[in-house]
Amino acid sequence: MSVANTRRSGLGRGLGSLLGETAGEVRTDLDDASLRELSIDEVHPNPDQPRRNFDEDELAELADSIAQCGVLQPIVVRAYDGAFQIVAGERRYQAARRAGLETIPAVVREVSDDEVLQLALIENLQRADLNPMEAAQGYRQLVEQNGLTHAEVAQILSKSRSAITNAMRLLDLPQSVQELVANGLLTAGHARAILSVDGDEGREALAQKVIHEGLSVRQTETFGPLFSVKTQATDDAQPKRTVAPESYGVAARRLHNVLGTKVRVRTIRGKNKVEIEFGNEDDLEAIVERIEGGQDERA
């Protein structure tokens, strides 16, 4: 799906214009929607919902409020597989079930498969409900399932390209560290600092140090180089330098001309590598855009 297509389907215009509701209000102008009272047993969560964790205390409070006052803001659903699938409002749905409600007010809308994940992600992001790992996983779903680039995801969600890229980098963390971030024991800033460490073992060790000693993000960045995993080969002796083929130098110069930055093509411990130098996040974003621009031209 291209950015143009997402604009035509309404994505990027904001959750309110798409779903007939806003983050904090009940909208009564529902001429273009069907407001119904549905049996709660007919309603089912979206398995691709980006939000995985619901705060138990907040859910209990909402359930108590719903038990006393009812559901003041309808959820949004679509007809799906003989029942109804939630597009937005799963937290209200979960609380309503806890409160023992048999029915729930819902706005029934026609939403395509491609739009469901995007709408759910927009809803949660506008309400700041997603933890960093849920957001990163949601971005990855948009990229992989809908074939969007980081720039297109950024445009749809009204974020910067670098914010999307940096968020998705958290998925490179070991699973154990991702869980610490998801549970709020590590911030996204800590997680990015931990990513500077080479190897999962070092990253896990630094994560534990952050938690046990209450390190700040700046302190975590300082400790990063000390936790990089070193192989026995690098500890005992430096490997002999291999003379690179002339083609490596030619390739490096061609890449330099295209990307506008220093590039090295070399062999390290039997592995061929291309190293691209950049100064900051803006430089990195510019490099990625040049690479993607070349891919678009070839396509």
Q: Model pTM?
A: 0.51
CB 157 within 8 A of CB 122: yes
CA angle 205, 206, 210 (to 5 degrees): 120
pLDDT exceeds 90 at position 30? no
Q: Phi and psi of 229, rounded to 5°?
A: -75, 130
The reported pLDDT for the residue numbered 40 is 93
Average pLDDT over residues 40-46: 90
Mean pLDDT of 76-97: 88
Average pLDDT, the chain: 78
Q: How far is CA 102 from the centre of its chain?
A: 34
Residue 90 annotated in active site: yes
Distances (CA, A) of 197 to 16, 205, 230, 280, 285: 42, 10, 11, 18, 21
Please, are residues 62 and 92 in contact by the beta-carbon 8 Å criterion? yes
**Beta carbons within 10 angstroms of residue 158's beta carbon:** 11
Query: Cα 167 from chain centroid?
Result: 6
Alpha-carbon distance of 22 to 27, in angstroms, equals 7
Under a CB-based contact definition with an 8 Å cutoff, are residues 173 and 135 in contact? Answer: no
Q: Residue 104: how many CA atoms within 13 Å on its side-chain side?
A: 32
Average pLDDT over residues 251-259: 85
Q: Say which residue the tokens 């490099």 belong to.
A: 287
- Other beta carbons within 10 angstroms of residue 17's beta carbon come to 11
Q: Which of 90, 134, 152, 285 is catalytic?
A: 90
Q: Using CB atoms within 10 A of its CB, is residue 220 exposed (0-12), middle (13-18) or buried (19+)? A: buried
Token digits of residue 32 = 């273009």
- The answer to whether the CB of 153 falls within 8 A of the CB of 139 is yes
- In this prediction, residue 14 has a pLDDT band, given cuts at 50, 70 and 90, of very low
Q: What is the pLDDT of residues 163-207, one digit of tens each?
A: 999 999 999 999 999 999 988 899 999 999 999 998 899 999 999
**Range in 83-87, 114-118, 201-205 with the lowest mean pLDDT:** 114-118
Rounded CA Rg of the chain: 24
Q: 3-class SS at 43?
A: strand
